Structure 1
Amino acid sequence: MTCKKISFLLVTLLFTSRIILQPRYSLISDCDETFNYWEPLNFLVRGFGKQTWEYSPEYSIRSWAFLLPFYAIIYPFNKFTELESVWNFYITRITLGLLSFILEVQLHSEIKKSMSHRVANIWLLFQIFNPGYFHASVELLPSSVAMILYIGSIKYALRYLSTNKSSSFTMSLTFNFIAGILGWPFVLVLSLPLCVHYVFYNPIIVSIRTAFDCTLMLLSISAVVIGIDSIFYGKFASVSWNILFYNVLNADENSGPNIFGVEPWYYYLLNLVLNFPLPVLLFSFVGLTHVSLAPLWISFTLWMVIFIMQPHKEERFLYPIYGLVSLSAAIGFSKLLTFSKLCKLLKKVLKSIVILAVIIQASSRIIALIVNYTAPLDTFAELYNITPSGLNDIELINVCAGREWYHFPSSFHLPDGYRLQFIKSGFDGLLPGNFPESIPLLETIRTIPEGMNNLNKFDAGKIVEIDECTYIVDMVDNSNKAVDAFNPIEEIENQKWNRVFCNQIIDVDHSKILGRAFYVPPIIADFMNKKLPSLWNRMYGVQFTDYCLFERAENAPREIDI
């Protein structure tokens, strides 16, 4: 098969993944995505949603400008069609997937021009079968958008490094400026090595002129974003600066991101092992020897060092360098095939084994994420298919969550007239509140909400009594009666609550790490369980539990103030 035919096949697979599969099946891996981005977007579109402390004008460390492009895209669907609101969720994901697809295809074309068709195809293969990128590229997060836009930055960085054109250098920085100012300011660090390279290899007068152009571009983007956020918050609001101040300059043991948990230095190394097939990681080290792309490899190394040094670590912090890992691995694999002294037949066998290993490991990881963790998406969306009984006398229908609050996907999964509420659970941190619905939108955004703080201190005003709930979503197992208001097993036995829809979710506490992380087809799992039961259960043992939507039984007592 020729390189062109392989490229066509890979582009088709990429399109299928980014536009069709990922929007529908990808999980929400972080509740920060739900409450800091999906909920405010739902508020812009439908006038209600959960509000976090980050959106309080007192702190203003989340950007409304970041959400406006997505609002502009889904607004016409709400205005001129009668689609269910859950489609806003999927249209937004499709938009993110489409943006990623376009930039990845463009980078594939640039790699083909500046290096080789084979490297370009290998890169695209590694991008498609990339478990981390599979869910990250359709997540509504600044780090995800930064990851996607940095693909565009890499494209022009490659063109600059192969042609030394100043216009390509400026375009590379422009993509990263948009990613940093509109999305996540830390991503600007990735352009520093390229800037040093430019200054070192160009005359001083050329560097000054280019620096002026780039500064003008940076200021223009900043002015637009700061202007939009200032209008929304009703005061001067530089969200990028506020994020930097909160996370770095004003952070200590008692404030800043560290209060949400810290991880050991090797956290990100384990994270890369989970989100990239092992051959890809191994080849990426070989690719770092490609000295002509040294500024990109320095960016990759600098990013890893900076974030490994931070006590508070999260998977999404590595998103921006995912494209670099794939690029380095593609170059490394190509180098090994080119300089290997093996005969052509052995090279073909080696190539086939590596590609097969990448596809199998990546597919196993991706399927595991879908099978094990996506139950909340379908469970909450089931509310569109059922009609509550005996509720004509109340205005709003409360869908409640206790210990499962962090698995809530978005208010787009709630029909009109439904609201998410929290009930008492063992969680003792600060839960999101509600955007007020009785005042105009801008006035709501500019009002400082009650009970908010940036220290993750619990506020009792964020929870309601269980009697106010019409539905509850929870896992079917015994809860801690001392701290949880809802015990599914007990309530089912007492016939106070009925299960109306259930889906399976992995029981993390009773499953082994390999079972949580990778999917093994049942036929293979059954075979291994018969032949090596003790070893298999010790390494892979996986258990599931029901993740259910409960409805209050019609004869169950309730006390609601009307």
Structure 2
Amino acid sequence: MNRKIVTLTLVLLLSLSRLWIQPVFSIISDCDETYNYWEPLNLLVRGFGKETWEYSPEYSIRSWSFLLPFSGILRALQNIAPGLEAYWNFYITRFILGLLSFILELGLHREISKSMSVRVANIWLFFQLFNPGWFHASVELLPSSVAMLLSIGSIKYALRYLSGGQEKPFVLSMTFTFIAGVLGWPFVFLLGLPLCFHHLIRQKLINTIRTAFDASLVLTLIIITIVGSDSLIYGKFTPVSWNAFWYNVIDANEASGPNIFGTEPWFYYVLNLVLNFPLPVLALASLGLFHRRIWPLSLSLLAWLTIFTAQPHKEERFLYPVYGFITLSAAVSYEKLVNLFKGSYCLRKTFQWGTIVTVILLATSRIAALVIHYSAPLQVYGELYNYNLNTDKQRNVCTGREWYHFPNSFMLPDYHRLKFVASGFDGLLPGDFLEEGGLLNQIRHVPSGMNKENQFDENKLWPSDDCDFYVDIFKPIDFFKDDFNPLWMPSDWDKISCQKFIDVADSKVLGRSFYVPEYISNHLQKLFPQQWSRVYKAGQTDYCVYGNVTRFKELSQEKGSTIVY
């Protein structure tokens, strides 16, 4: 097939994915994204939101500068289209992230075409397109996600530098790394060290000194801009990146620090990569690590994996910044193997089509599983807009054990507020940003009951009698801990809307991780009646929002059936 046609097809599919499919259908996979980024953004745009201890001026380990570009765009859109429902802010922000990803990926594709070959560039773009991890990570409002996107820009100029040895592309590559590091995730600086080492051993001393000066000047300007902005907003000198590094590394102990939120075994990231990358891509990436031409990039990937694997506290998002390195390594390895099989047409075509088909099937299955099994919270909270009572009285949308699946307050109509009721959770729940005074007063206000030890604060709970709506999964509760029982709601409560959600307890690992169409699953069940049921099952339950129909007659005209246990 003509390579120009292949490139055009991949670019069109990439634009469709990044600019529509992902912003609309991708899930929120981490409550840290909700409470540490979407909620503060909602405050900047709408004046209210949930507040975590990280945003308390007492600790200030989250950057407001990170959110300012998004809030600026959203507030401008509010002035242009004042009648736009609030949930559009969520999707527009995702569109912006998807657009940034699309632009940076196109730039790296062009650079790979010039420095390597069009075929390597196309297979890299293919691996990016059919990449389950990138599918959700690239539209997540997280510093690690933005660092992942910026790493694409860094890789682009790193390849240009490695091809020609000029100073300018080196400094530009480091600039992307500096922005990602200072803007909220200081650990990203690690990715730039191998390239610095390459410059040190390959360039003349005078060139290294001049380049170091230029790069330091860029870093200084970035630090002044971001730290200055955060300091103005917090009302005190606030180097957020340093505060985050201090909390996570220097000041970490048994009582505070990342480890109090859970630890994982060393192979956690191995399993995580298997879920986020098709197996052929991982296999090819491991072979591509030994490509001499891009050894600084390979060393960055290896160093990142080694250091983060050694940390007890592990999270999926910690690997986001190296996703682009993985697909590049896989693309280089793929090209090497294609050239190795040049002597055998049959072997070469088998390898090429086998890789392509396997990657498409595994990636599509994984992405479909994420969307089908985990989209219910976004859909259910979004239903509240269909029951907006157009009143200026506050309506309380309550949740208990499902607090961590709340998408964000953009899914709540005006005058609706998220509240937490008692459940089995015994850690520190988010509080509420102050809703009085100006924006700076809201941000600088020191909330009560915050701590970095994850200690429970009962003042974060709301009395269930004052709830207007309630969101929960349709599963048995702990009668001694949960305020609401969705299986046996009071007579003045009724279901408003329900969506199917994965039932983890009634599912196999393979069933909740990968989607197999029902007709194929049924066929496999007939062929392998005992074996298939042992490895694949995707049980579902209802994820529902309930309304107090005594207060709001508009919510329901007739009662639905209720199961009593």
Q: Give how far 1:70 is off.
A: 0.5
Following the alignment from structure 2 to structure 1, what is the Cα–Cα distance between the partners of residues 499 and 263? 32
- Contact map agreement 2:184 2:240 (CA 8 A) in 1: no
Shift of 1:541: 1.3
SS in 1 for 2:183: helix
Is the contact between residue 373 and residue 505 of structure 1 (CA under 8 Å) also seen in structure 2? yes
Cα offsets for 1:463-488 (capped at 9, x unmatched): 10111110001111211111111110
Query: How far apart are 1:555 and its partner, in Å?
Result: 7.4
Q: 1:302 Cα deviation (Å)? A: 0.3
Please say which of residues 340-349 and 546-555 is displaced more in the overlay: 340-349
Q: Which residue of 2 aligns with 1:339?
A: 340
Give CA deviations for 1:92-129 in whole Å, capped at 9, x if unaligned: 00000000000000000000100011100000000000
Partner of 2:540 in structure 1? 544
Amino acid at match of 1:310: Q
Q: CA deviation at 1:184?
A: 1.1
The match for 1:364 is 365
Check if 1:495 corresponds to 2:500.
Answer: no
Counterpart for residue 382 of structure 1: 383
Aligned pairs for 1:424-435 within 5 A: 424-435=422-433
Distance in 2, Cα, partners of 1:455 & 1:242: 16
Q: Give the TM-score, by structure 2 length.
A: 0.96
Aligned counterpart, 1:116: 117
Instruction: Give the corresponding residue for 1:14.
Output: 14
Shift of 1:535: 1.8
- Secondary structure of the residue aligned to 2:501 is strand
**Equivalences for residues 50-449 of structure 1 within 5 A:** 50-81=50-81, 82-340=83-341, 342-388=343-389, 395-449=393-447
For residues 377 and 396 of structure 2, the distance between their equivalents in structure 1, rounded to whole angstroms, comes to: 17
Counterpart-to-counterpart distance in 1, 2:522 and 2:334: 35
Identical positions, percent = 56
Give the Cα–Cα distance (whole angstroms) in 1 for the partners of residues 120 and 475 of structure 2.
50
Matched-pair contact (CA < 8 Å) for 2:157–2:169: yes
The amino acid that maps onto 1:470 is D
Give the AA of the match of 1:23. P
Counterpart CA distance in 2 for 1:65 and 1:313 is 26
Whole-angstrom CA distance in 1 between matches of 2:551 and 2:227:
54
Q: Distance in 1 between matches of 2:263 and 2:289?
A: 30
Distance 1:444 1:232 in 2: 10
Q: Is residue 145–residue 183 contact of structure 1 (8 Å, CA) maintained in 2?
A: no
Asked if structure 2 preserves the Cα contact closer than 8 Å seen for 1:26 and 1:370, the reply is: yes
Task: Kindly indicate whether the alpha-carbon contact (under 8 Å) linking 2:341 and 2:347 is maintained by their aligned counterparts in 1.
Answer: no
* Structure 2 CA distance for aligned equivalents of residues 338 and 19 of structure 1: 35
* CA displacement at 1:341 relative to structure 2: 5.3
Deviation per CA, 1:405-434, whole angstroms, max 9, x where unpaired?
000001000010100000001000000000
1:345, distance to aligned residue in structure 2 (A)? 3.4
Deviation of the 1:536 alpha carbon: 1.7
C-alpha separation in 1, matches of 2:280 and 2:493:
50
Q: What amino acid is the match of 1:446?
A: R
Q: Is the 8 A contact 1:25 1:370 kept in 2?
A: yes
Question: How much does 1:342 deviate?
Answer: 4.7
User: Structure 1: which 4+ aligned runs deviate by more than 6 Å?
Assistant: none
Q: Show CA shifts across 1:297-332 (max 9, x none).
A: 000000001100110000000000000100000111
The answer (yes or no) to whether the contact 2:6–2:122 under 8 Å persists in 1 is: yes
**Greater displacement, 334-343 / 11-20:** 334-343
- How far is 1:387 from its partner? 3.9
Residue matched to 1:559: none
Equivalent-residue separation in structure 1 for 2:531 and 2:496 (angstroms): 38
Distance in 2 (alpha carbons) for counterparts of 1:54 and 1:340: 54
Unmatched tracts of structure 1, length 5 or more: 557-562
- Structure 1 CA distance, aligned partners of 2:529 and 2:421? 41
Aligned-residue offset at 1:534: 2.6
1:495 deviation in Å? 2.5
SS at match of 1:504: strand
Equivalent pair of 1:146/1:183 in contact (CA under 8 Å):
no
The letter of the residue matching 2:539 is Q
- With 74-83 and 375-384 compared, the bigger mean Cα shift is at 74-83
Question: Which AA in structure 1 matches 2:534?
Answer: R
Q: Deviations over 1:334-371 (max 9, x none)?
A: 10010125522331232111100000000000000000
- Aligned partner of 2:557 in structure 1 is none
Report if aligned partners of 1:499, 1:549 keep a CA contact under 8 Å in 2. yes
2:558 corresponding residue in structure 1: none
Greater shift in the superposed pair: 72-81 or 540-549: 72-81
Contact kept, 8 Å, 1:62 with 1:239, in 2: the verdict is yes
Indicate the residue corresponding to 2:563 in structure 1: none
Could you tell me how far 1:252 is from its partner in structure 2? 1.7
SS of the residue aligned with 1:97?
A: helix
Matched, 1:27 2:21: no
- For the residue of structure 1 that corresponds to 2:476, the secondary structure is coil
Task: Determine the C-alpha separation between the residues in 2 that align with 1:232 and 1:151.
Answer: 30
Aligned equivalents of 2:113, 2:551: Cα separation in 1: 68
Alignment check: 8 A CA contact 2:191 2:304 kept: yes
Residues 230 and 236 of structure 1 are in contact (CA less than 8 Å); yes or no, is this contact kept in structure 2?
A: yes
Return the alpha-carbon distance in structure 2 between the equivalents of residues 555 and 99 of structure 1.
45
User: What SS does the corresponding residue of 1:66 show, helix, strand or coil?
Assistant: coil
Once the two structures are superposed, what CA deviation does each residue of 1:522-546 show, in whole Å capped at 9, x if it has no partner? 1101112233233222111110001
Residues 238-287 of structure 1: CA distance to partner in whole angstroms, max 9, x if unpaired? 00000000000111222100000000011001100110000000011111
1:47 match: 47
2:434–2:445 CA contact under 8 A, matched in 1? no
Deviation sequence 1:162-196 (CA, Å, 0-9, x none): 01011000000001101111131111100000001
How far apart, in 2, do the equivalents of 1:352 and 1:342 lie? 17
Q: What's the C-alpha RMSD, in Å, of the aligned pairs?
A: 1.3
Output the amino acid matched with 1:376. Answer: P
Q: Which residue is equivalent to 2:522?
A: 526
- Secondary structure at the counterpart of residue 488 of structure 2: helix
What CA distance in whole angstroms lies between the structure 2 residues aligned with 1:537 and 1:258?
37
3-state SS of paired residue (1:138) = coil
* Distance (Å, rounded) in 2 between the aligned partners of 1:253 and 1:161: 44
SS of corresponding position for 1:193: helix
1:560: which partner in 2?
Answer: none
**SS state at 1:400 partner:** strand
The answer on whether the counterparts of 2:132 and 2:276 sit within 8 Å (CA) in structure 1 is yes
Contact 1:398/1:469, CA 8 A, preserved across alignment: yes
2:29 partner amino acid: S
Distance in 1 (CA, whole Å) between partners of 2:343 and 2:75 is 58
> Following the alignment from structure 1 to structure 2, what is the Cα–Cα distance between the partners of residues 414 and 135?
22
Whole-angstrom CA distance in 2 between matches of 1:278 and 1:80: 46
Q: Name whichever of 168-177 and 282-291 sits farther off.
A: 282-291
Structure 1: distance between partners of 2:342 and 2:205: 45
The 8 Å contact of residues 35 and 432 in structure 1, kept in 2 or not, is answered as yes
CA contact (8 A) 1:111 1:120 kept: yes
Letter in 2 for 1:438: E
AA in 1 matched with 2:313:
H
